[in-house]
Chains A and B, each alone.
Chain A
């Protein structure tokens, strides 16, 4: 079965080509069927591959030589194993639901834009599949940059809007900054080992000095910072909300931002061997988790809250990777994919019903108009907040427990972030669904539940958000209940051997879980209580709230420190150095020669040929004088 793995990326690629080329002639329903059908077909193959891996283990499937040069060989090959097969399921499964949802959400678009949309969506999934399936860092990099391109195309999907275009460009450029780190890491590997194939690299770590390993892992992590929106390269992700809402679901749940997690989980051996990098990953992850959570507390755009929440949750995943809880990180990728896709699609449903209103201050009481959206959204909020037995509880708990064993400080900061998460999510929930309606009468009149293509994915994702965590029940509850850990064990075996196992006492673990859960419930009650009677007010926010509303002014800081100086430097080069400096010098030499020849022209015949002859002779003479070369002298003597 694994041999057929190439079908998984092939279907979306074909979907991209058919919908892209046929977007003018195909009907909308045909486009939707092709686009969604391609992903469904990939999902079916992914399921088969998953069971094949479960039964027989993984293998590498080589298609052809991509680059074969003197010093190294990079095959176009796919890595089929436990880790990639889990990601395949997430990408194609959730990807399919998002495609289905999109078929209704985008129905207002003209046929050719509808076709363009589905083509991009398919290409996005294709790139992500390539990223996950690649058996070496170069093939991964194809997908790595591919998802960057697709996010660029989709964020700027409504290309008439200039702001959206800037957001798209920002996403691409910030990703590129990270990509450079990734590339340098690959060069480093190829330089030292002459290979970038996972198996070969991980087997040859003994040939690398610890400096090499630290440098490679740090550079790869720079790539992850860009792709997975970590400090300092996270600012593109909230702006990426410019794209259609299902695209946000795709970027935040099934594709793109999880790439960094996947890459580090894939390279787990290297990271385990580089404790300095691990500490950096944990600290950056934790800092991002908490920093983004503070911003989310004060955002009023429904999608912006979710965007910062993603940045924050990704921070937890990196914390997990940094403390060596690779399974926990992958587990959180999975549960997060369920509830974040659900949240974004739910938000899309709300925005759809509210006629493109995204400000939660102008919503409220949607509970009674949109029952399915409401219930599923609530379940997702409970899942992300970490209430047992919803999925987010298990994965977040696993990461935090591992963090505690590494450094209790990580744990307490992490819990503070989790409390903020509960607060901003229930602030969002309350403002949107509870209280009274604060929009216009016309909006209220048109409020409706969304069609089945949109509610069906919500229901499926809600089930997964509730029950998806049960494949990772901690050992403390039941022996061998963590089936995900057992499934992934071969991928992380080497790291586990190196790092050793730390287990907390069961009583301590129970206490931590219980304490955190109670605190979260209290925060939820507080948030609901604070916002259920919310009224629109014109008051300007001040102080810390204003700071948070403006996202700590980080964008402004980057503009002032990096963008503007660079632009000024470019202008200085263009207008001063290039024009007056270098070109001025060149022209100056020209003028000097012109002046000289005006003086000398009385001596000359005016024939260009003569000038050239004299120049050449002059040079020969010059060389002769310079070197006083006997050999030439002799030759010249003979000639003349």
Chain B
């Protein structure tokens, strides 16, 4: 029952939210919904029997599609990420006011329902439905509440990701026709044995859809613009959780169904990913906008995850799994700081910032912790993931690992650039009268900091959580 509840709560509360006019009620309603979802996730993960973690009911019997949900290790981890992120996001952006708040929060909650559906779906048609349910609200959120260039940017974002979705849909339909029992179930899909040529072709239909979502170089150009122009709360959802849809989908739908093509094209994809890591890292060095810097830094981090995935190596995968969670939490932390700076000071440009460490020491400390997590310093959570992913990459090919390793150095360069330009030096006109963070924002950043350190010092429970998924997919 748990998976159904996890989807139903944000879906229903989201629909109800559209009828709310008052900003405060809409905010509280959304926050309440998100906290309940979190509570149910935690209960499902830690306190309820495993029998509660899957669900199966007739949905579209004529088509052979069932409404079937399952919560394996990876599903648990990403549900936890989604359920934890939304309260963080709502609380940390609580002071931001939106025109038409009921619709804003309604769309956010619908997107949450879509995300949870994607992570829980065990049927391709259900998966596709939620995939779109997650995407469409975000499109509206960007185009209605976004920045000045929002229309052009969101249009591109939508077309780009939608083309990906269509390719995937075509692939799903093809697989459906190929399946022995004409079903959309993941089990049936993974039993399909395609001929080499077909497998290779359909593999790319799916991969491009997922690659756009992650995004992997060179399919990434929609992303910095979209992150920059969206309202920050939406950006947090996109970069913290939505990019994980792509990685998740590769593990759940791509590699089990196309094992040969995955191995065959793995090398090419790894090289693309590593190229993207260095490329995005270098571009990040030259950014003058905190949001764009985080965007490119995120492309670099995702590149490593994608590369580690296609090594098809257990150690690498253990890293990817834990990093999906950690990257989500950490990048939301960075966005919270970016949002605070933009809201308080009216600028995101490094050239117009400086000296905030004097004015906002608490924010300074917390930003430094986020920055250290961004460069994967040991004893932060990101170190564990990166260490394992690089290990996997090294086992795959040590030269590729060594080249990818250069991004570790570049990450220090651009992240410390950001820290220096925002926090250090003398105050400038924009930061002269800045005040420190307090209340919700401070609390949420402290929560994230605690997660960063706790999972950095004692990561074992997180590592153990996804063992079953890795076993099921890789050992097959």
Using an 8 Å CB-CB cutoff, how does the interface string of A610-621 with B read, 1 for contact, 0 for none? 001001100110
Residue of B nearest to A175 (CB): B412
Q: How far is the CB of A616 from chain B (nearest CB, A)?
A: 6
List B contacts of A571 (CB < 8 A): 286
Interface presence of A340 (CB below 8 A): no
Interface presence of A567 (CB below 8 A): yes
Q: A571-B286, A627-B197 are in contact. Are A184 and B405 (CB under 8 A)?
A: yes
Q: Are B460 and A68 neighbours in the complex by a CB distance under 8 Å? A: yes
Q: Are B286 and A160 neighbours in the complex by a CB distance under 8 Å? A: no
Query: Bound complex: CA of A191 vs CA of B393, how far in Å?
Result: 10
Q: How far is the CB of B261 from chain A (nearest CB, A)?
A: 15
Using an 8 Å CB-CB cutoff, how does the interface string of B182-225 with A read, 1 for contact, 0 for none? 00000000000000011001000000000000000010011000
Query: Bound complex: CA of A582 vs CA of B412, how far in Å?
Result: 26
Q: Are A67 and B463 neighbours in the complex by a CB distance under 8 Å? A: yes
Q: Are A180 and B170 neighbours in the complex by a CB distance under 8 Å? A: no
Q: Are B395 and A159 neighbours in the complex by a CB distance under 8 Å? A: no
Interface presence of A557 (CB below 8 A): no
Q: Per a CB cutoff under 8 Å, which of B173, B377, B420, B460 touches A145?
A: B377
List A contacts of B20 (CB < 8 A): none
Query: Bound complex: CA of A217 vs CA of B201, how far in Å?
Result: 45
Interface presence of A603 (CB below 8 A): no
Interface residues of B in 380-424 (CB under 8 A from A): 384, 387-388, 390-391, 394-395, 398, 401-402, 405-406, 408-409, 412-413, 416-417, 420, 423-424
Q: Are A180 and B409 neighbours in the complex by a CB distance under 8 Å? A: yes
Query: Bound complex: CA of A629 vs CA of B194, how far in Å?
Result: 11
Q: Are A70 and B315 neighbours in the complex by a CB distance under 8 Å? A: yes
Q: Are B174 and A67 neighbours in the complex by a CB distance under 8 Å? A: no
Which of B30-38, B343-351, B354-362 contacts the other chain? B354-362
Q: How far is the CB of A257 from chain B (nearest CB, A)?
A: 19
List A contacts of B222 (CB < 8 A): 586
List A contacts of B260 (CB < 8 A): none
Q: How far is the CB of A279 from chain B (nearest CB, A)?
A: 23
Q: A180-B408, A590-B159 are in contact. Are A67 and B388 (CB under 8 A)?
A: yes
Interface presence of A640 (CB below 8 A): no
Which of B11-19, B73-81, B277-285 contacts the other chain? B277-285
Interface presence of A177 (CB below 8 A): yes
The residue in A138, A166, A583 that gathers the most chain B C-beta atoms within 10 A of its C-beta is A583
Residue of B nearest to A619 (CB): B170
Q: Per a CB cutoff under 8 Å, which of B177, B279, B287, B459 touches A632?
A: B177
Q: Per a CB cutoff under 8 Å, which of A160, A172, A176 touches B426?
A: A160
Q: Are B425 and A582 neighbours in the complex by a CB distance under 8 Å? A: no
Q: How far is the CB of A466 from chain B (nearest CB, A)?
A: 39
Q: Per a CB cutoff under 8 Å, which of A162, A574, A620, A629 touches B173?
A: A620
Interface presence of B332 (CB below 8 A): no
Query: Bound complex: CA of A315 vs CA of B179, how far in Å?
Result: 68
Q: How far is the CB of B168 from chain A (nearest CB, A)?
A: 11
Q: Are B406 and A173 neighbours in the complex by a CB distance under 8 Å? A: no
Residue of A nearest to B377 (CB): A145
Interface presence of A631 (CB below 8 A): yes
List A contacts of B287 (CB < 8 A): 574
Using an 8 Å CB-CB cutoff, how does the interface string of A411-438 with B read, 1 for contact, 0 for none? 0000000000000000000000000000
Q: Per a CB cutoff under 8 Å, which of B159, B160, B167, B412 touches A173?
A: B412
List B contacts of A165 (CB < 8 A): 420, 424-425
List B contacts of A67 (CB < 8 A): 384, 387-388, 459-460, 463
Q: Are A190 and B424 neighbours in the complex by a CB distance under 8 Å? A: no
Query: Bound complex: CA of A188 vs CA of B283, how far in Å?
Result: 30
Q: A71-B315, A570-B282 are in contact. Are A586 and B394 (CB under 8 A)?
A: no
Query: Bound complex: CA of A626 vs CA of B423, how far in Å?
Result: 58
Q: Are A586 and B314 neighbours in the complex by a CB distance under 8 Å? A: no
Interface residues of A in 178-197 (CB under 8 A from B): 179-180, 183-184, 187-188, 190-191
Interface presence of A498 (CB below 8 A): no
Residue of A nearest to B313 (CB): A71
Chain B: number of interface residues, binned into ranges: 35 or more
Residue of B nearest to A626 (CB): B201
Q: How far is the CB of B226 from chain A (nearest CB, A)?
A: 12
List B contacts of A619 (CB < 8 A): 166-167, 170
Q: Are A616 and B170 neighbours in the complex by a CB distance under 8 Å? A: yes
List A contacts of B423 (CB < 8 A): 159
Q: How far is the CB of B195 from chain A (nearest CB, A)?
A: 8
Q: How far is the CB of A582 from chain B (nearest CB, A)?
A: 5
Q: How far is the CB of A53 from chain B (nearest CB, A)?
A: 27
Q: Are B391 and A190 neighbours in the complex by a CB distance under 8 Å? A: yes
Q: Per a CB cutoff under 8 Å, which of B160, B197, B398, B408 touches A176?
A: B408
Q: How far is the CB of A13 from chain B (nearest CB, A)?
A: 11
Interface presence of B267 (CB below 8 A): no
Interface residues of A in 76-108 (CB under 8 A from B): none
Q: Are B166 and A578 neighbours in the complex by a CB distance under 8 Å? A: no
Using an 8 Å CB-CB cutoff, how does the interface string of A556-582 with B read, 1 for contact, 0 for none? 000000000011011101100110001
List B contacts of A569 (CB < 8 A): 282
Residue of A nearest to B417 (CB): A169
List A contacts of B434 (CB < 8 A): none
Interface presence of B339 (CB below 8 A): no
Interface presence of B91 (CB below 8 A): no
Query: Bound complex: CA of A156 vs CA of B406, how far in Å?
Result: 24
List A contacts of B147 (CB < 8 A): none
Q: Are A586 and B160 neighbours in the complex by a CB distance under 8 Å? A: yes
Query: Bound complex: CA of A145 vs CA of B408, how far in Å?
Result: 12
List B contacts of A187 (CB < 8 A): 390-391, 394, 398, 401
Interface presence of B23 (CB below 8 A): no
Query: Bound complex: CA of A205 vs CA of B306, how far in Å?
Result: 34
Q: Per a CB cutoff under 8 Å, which of A169, A566, A629 touches B416?
A: A169
Interface residues of A in 527-581 (CB under 8 A from B): 566-567, 569-571, 573-574, 577-578
Q: Are B166 and A612 neighbours in the complex by a CB distance under 8 Å? A: yes
Interface presence of B442 (CB below 8 A): no
Query: Bound complex: CA of A68 vs CA of B426, how far in Å?
Result: 46
Q: Are A69 and B388 neighbours in the complex by a CB distance under 8 Å? A: yes
Q: Are A184 and B170 neighbours in the complex by a CB distance under 8 Å? A: no
Q: Are B221 and A582 neighbours in the complex by a CB distance under 8 Å? A: yes
Query: Bound complex: CA of A145 vs CA of B456, how far in Å?
Result: 14
List B contacts of A190 (CB < 8 A): 391, 394
Interface presence of B178 (CB below 8 A): yes
Interface presence of A623 (CB below 8 A): yes
Q: A180-B406, A583-B221 are in contact. Are A112 and B378 (CB under 8 A)?
A: no
Q: Are B282 and A159 neighbours in the complex by a CB distance under 8 Å? A: no
Q: Are B416 and A173 neighbours in the complex by a CB distance under 8 Å? A: yes
List B contacts of A71 (CB < 8 A): 314-315
Q: Per a CB cutoff under 8 Å, which of A160, A169, A627 touches B355?
A: A160
Query: Bound complex: CA of A571 vs CA of B283, how far in Å?
Result: 7
Q: Are B285 and A146 neighbours in the complex by a CB distance under 8 Å? A: no
Q: A159-B423, A583-B221 are in contact. Are A141 and B460 (CB under 8 A)?
A: no
Q: Are B379 and A142 neighbours in the complex by a CB distance under 8 Å? A: yes
List residues of chain A with CB under 8 Å of any chain B CB: 64-72, 112, 138, 141-142, 145-146, 149, 152, 156, 159-162, 165-166, 169, 172-173, 176-177, 179-180, 183-184, 187-188, 190-191, 566-567, 569-571, 573-574, 577-578, 582-583, 586-587, 590, 612, 615-616, 619-620, 623, 626-627, 629, 631-632, 635
In the A-B complex, the 7 residue pairs with the smallest Cβ-Cβ separation, listed nearest first, are A187-B394, A142-B378, A570-B282, A619-B170, A583-B221, A159-B424, A176-B412
List residues of chain B with CB under 8 Å of any chain A CB: 156, 159-160, 166-167, 169-170, 173-174, 177-178, 197-198, 201, 218, 221-222, 279, 282-283, 285-287, 314-315, 318, 355, 357-358, 361, 372, 377-379, 384, 387-388, 390-391, 394-395, 398, 401-402, 405-406, 408-409, 412-413, 416-417, 420, 423-426, 458-460, 463, 470
30 A-B residue contacts at CB 8 Å?
A66-B458, A66-B459, A66-B460, A67-B384, A68-B460, A69-B318, A71-B314, A112-B361, A145-B378, A149-B372, A156-B424, A162-B425, A165-B420, A166-B420, A169-B417, A180-B409, A187-B391, A187-B398, A190-B391, A566-B282, A566-B285, A567-B286, A574-B282, A578-B283, A583-B221, A615-B166, A620-B173, A620-B174, A623-B201, A632-B177
